[in-house]
Chains A and B, each alone.
Chain A
Amino acid sequence: MVNQPLAEAWPRTRPAAGVLRARGVNRQDGTVPPSVKVSGLTRRFGDIIAVDGISFEVAEAELFGFLGPNGAGKTTTISMLCTLLSPTGGRASIGGHDIASDAAGVRRKIGIVFQDSTVDERLSARENLVFHGELFGMAREDIRPRAEQLLERVELLERADDTVLTFSGGMRRRLEVARGLMHWPSVLFLDEPTVGLDPQTRRSIWAYARSLRDTEGVTIFLTTHYMDEAEACDRVAIMDHGKIVALDTPERLKARLGGDVVSIAGPDNAALAREVRESFEIEPRLENEAVEFNVERGGDFVPVLLSRLESQVQSVGIRAPTLEDVFVSLTGHQIREASFSQEDKFRSMQQRGFRRMR
């Protein structure tokens, strides 16, 4: 799994102060309303509660991530915020526009990149952008220069006049990001933006999203079940079974776990776990065919551990905690169990252009 590269390749950046000021945002005076404001938002489908009274706020120009397994309610939440689905309870507003009473106001403020491709394959890249611009009531004189600028940004200018049918999955995604930003939205929603893409393309999608955030001060709200993507966000809301179980910066979420993750494995993991529990008063987890637990200063702890254990130990590992560990400790199950599902495989095939054969 490519875990670190994403965060390393694209170190956390901030939009230039001037960008925010030009958008009327001044972080100093403290009067800036949050870009996205959600309180008690709920959505039921019959007896099932897909989203269960969630509340949170997202600041202007923040890179905000929703992390959770498939079916956690991420897409349902985004659909409600984008006014595609009406909530059954609670309120939410975007840029001061209420999602229930002012859907048109919300729609003007937001850009959306859906989980599945929604570009028109029979039109060229440029035509897709122009169509979008006209539909969103952009001024005539703005449409073509803006399309040009965004196509250049996502490195599609050379292919601007080719039909999208000839594009690879990554190119289509880039085009969708560009299209989502066409009408200068203040919030860009990315629903699983990189599912089914290769690591290199994933990184480039992130780079574009980042650079556009930094130069235009757009708030980015994304959902993901990839840990590395969540690590690259300013703040992450961890979602499971329709509820937000934690919301903080990735660093603070990881710091909550305390110390390092130590994992040991042997022929009888159950016995190892029992010994760890009894002699160190630590609650271990049985995971990845190993016994895992968190301790302060794992490096100093391991020699002590090994000297006291009676069961046979075949391997030892020490690592810094990841968001995956945070997720496991909060929910009691792993996020990857359901992550690369059949659905993902099908989607990645589609992205590569197999969809045409349907």
Chain B
Amino acid sequence: MTVEQATAVGGARVGAGAPRGETGRAGFLQVVRVIWMREVLIYFRDRPRMISAFTMPVIMLVMFGEGLGNSIATLPGGIDYRQFIFPGMVAMIVLMNSVFSGVSIVTDRQFGFLREILVAPVSRSAICIGKISGGATVALVNGAVMFAIAPILGIDISLGVVIKLLPLIALVSFMLTGLGVAIGSRLRSVESFQMLSQVAIFPAMFLSGIFFPINNVPAWMDVLVKLNPVTYAVAPIREIALSEQLAEIPADAPFQITHVDWYGYTLSTWEEIGIVVAFGAIMLTIAIRAIRTTE
């Protein structure tokens, strides 16, 4: 009889700590859950990070909304600029939180904890999905807080719309955290992650329609806007958030303030979401690949 069999047959081991249950291989979802838990736990312990994540968009909203808003002519359909920029701000906070949460994989590597995860007999995809879900949850929570403070800032948004928006924001968070983890999984230092993610975030932010309507820009910028994956995340968020107001825009308005227009073909909200899903899937694949080839 081999040791294996004997242990399996005998079952009992010595001491107070002998296992009562089966010590087997952790299931896929169990791994996703435990990795996710850790990300969320660490986030909610990091007070300064939480506070800064909340204050930033409020500052931006007030500055842009009050400052810029007053000097911008009313948008087609009589939509107030603050009303217009609010869904953009939600998208922005989700973008920043999502991408930056990819830093966790870099710190894990730097402090050695990634090795603890990688020596476990678990699926690499589960590790990746757990990481991404964790970061996405943080981003989603931050996005949701924006809705909670919307009435204080004088933004008019109904509960029904918010409920419709949350699953979409969860999806967008997942896609963008995928981008963050994909960047992070290849880097070894927090500094280089910060540099690289800034380089990725800023153009993506300004060329995504967060601050201005995408269908009223010069031709060269138009190309960049349409190549930017974040554009397809911002558009559906705004379409749902402003669904009531948008309906009032006349068809012969000088330009439509949302819906990506592919040179004559106007994408529907669902088509835009489809692009978000596809981009998310690509990011996930890249991140899993990178984790697999680590060490």
Residues of A within 8 A of B (CB): 18-19, 22-25, 31-33, 35, 60, 82-85, 95-96, 103-105, 107-108, 112, 114, 116-123, 127, 131-132, 134-142, 145-146, 149-150, 179, 183-184, 186, 215-217, 355
Do B113 and A119 have beta carbons less than 8 Å apart? Answer: yes
Residues of B within 8 A of A (CB): 1-7, 9-10, 12-17, 19-27, 30-31, 33-34, 38, 41-42, 45-46, 111-113, 115-122, 295
Q: Which of A116, A120, A186 has the most CB of B within 10 A?
A: A120
When distances are taken between beta carbons in the complex, the residues of chain A under 8 Å from B25 are 104, 108, 137
When distances are taken between beta carbons in the complex, the residues of chain A under 8 Å from B20 are 139, 141-142
Interface of A is mostly: loop
Q: 8 pairs across A/B with beta carbons < 8 Å?
A: A23-B13, A84-B295, A136-B23, A139-B22, A141-B21, A142-B21, A184-B23, A355-B111
**Cross-chain contact of B34 among A112, A135, A215 (Cβ < 8 A):** A135
Q: A23-B13, A82-B119 are in contact. Are A140 and B3 (CB under 8 A)?
A: no
Q: A23-B6, A114-B115 are in contact. Are A150 and B17 (CB under 8 A)?
A: yes
Chain B minimum-CB-distance residue to A134: B34
When distances are taken between beta carbons in the complex, the residues of chain B under 8 Å from A117 are 111-112
Interface of B is mostly: loop
When distances are taken between beta carbons in the complex, the residues of chain A under 8 Å from B14 are 18-19, 22-23, 215-217
Do A138 and B23 have beta carbons less than 8 Å apart? Answer: yes
User: How far apart are the CA atoms of A217 and B4 in the complex, in Å?
Assistant: 14
Within the complex, the shortest CB–CB distance from A36 to chain B, in Å, comes to 12
User: How far apart are the CA atoms of A184 and B116 in the complex, in Å?
Assistant: 16
When distances are taken between beta carbons in the complex, the residues of chain B under 8 Å from A112 are 119
Q: A23-B6, A32-B3, A84-B295 are in contact. Are A135 and B23 (CB under 8 A)?
A: no
When distances are taken between beta carbons in the complex, the residues of chain B under 8 Å from A114 are 112, 115
Q: A120-B113, A123-B38, A127-B41 are in contact. Are A146 and B21 (CB under 8 A)?
A: no
Do A149 and B17 have beta carbons less than 8 Å apart? Answer: yes
When distances are taken between beta carbons in the complex, the residues of chain A under 8 Å from B2 are 24, 31, 33, 96
User: How far apart are the CA atoms of A179 and B26 in the complex, in Å?
Assistant: 17
Chain A minimum-CB-distance residue to B8: A24
When distances are taken between beta carbons in the complex, the residues of chain B under 8 Å from A179 are 116
Q: 5 extra interchain contacts, Cβ-Cβ under 8 A, other than A33-B2, A142-B20? A: A107-B119, A118-B112, A121-B111, A184-B19, A216-B14
